[in-house]
């Protein structure tokens, strides 16, 4: 993985729930890490749904391995917009990760 190809800065976030003293539960996104990334693929597709048309934006990012952060499919990527992580592929033996992300716009 060449450093010159990591030309974007993305933020990895995880949803957390907190319980207030009153018992109310609130959820928020917490930043796990801000890392350099390479955008490998970006595509968009439109499809008819039951409530109209929706556009699905797919992106594949490549990042370096993060030894202290465990990324899951429940996390999301911020790169100008929020993208849900759909798949995580390990590159080599902990050299890097490919994050396949999706954003649905209605």
**Number of structural domains found in the chain:** 1
Rounded CA-CA distance 3/15 in Å is 29
Residue 104 has pLDDT above 90, yes or no: no
Quick one: pLDDT at residue 95? 92
**Average confidence (pLDDT) over 75-88:** 94
| Residue 71: closest CA among 90, 48, 57 | 90
Quote the pTM value. Answer: 0.82
Rounded CA-CA distance 11/76 in Å is 8
Residue 94 has pLDDT above 60, yes or no: yes
Which CATH number characterizes residue 10's domain?
A: 2.40.10.270
Q: 11-63: per-residue pLDDT in tens?
A: 999 999 989 899 899 999 999 999 999 999 888 777 666 667 778 889 999 99
Q: 67-79: per-residue pLDDT in tens?
A: 999 999 999 999 9
Is 63 in contact with 99 (CB distance < 8 Å)? yes
What domain range is 82 assigned to?
A: 3-105
Q: Round the CA-based radius of gyration of the chain to a whole number and report it.
A: 16
Quick one: pLDDT at residue 106? 54
């Amino acid at each position: 993985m060449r450093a010159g190809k990591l030309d974007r800065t993305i933020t990895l976030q995880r949803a957390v729930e907190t319980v207030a003293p009153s018992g109310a539960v609130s959820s928020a996104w917490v930043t796990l890490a801000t890392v350099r990334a390479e955008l490998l693929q970006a595509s968009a597709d439109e499809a008819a749904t039951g409530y109209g048309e929706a556009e699905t934006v797919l992106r594949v990012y490549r990042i370096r391995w993060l030894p202290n952060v465990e990324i899951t499919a429940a996390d999301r990527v911020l790169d100008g917009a929020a993208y849900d992580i759909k798949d995580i592929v390990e590159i080599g033996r902990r050299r890097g990760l490919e994050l396949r992300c999706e954003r649905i716009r209605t």
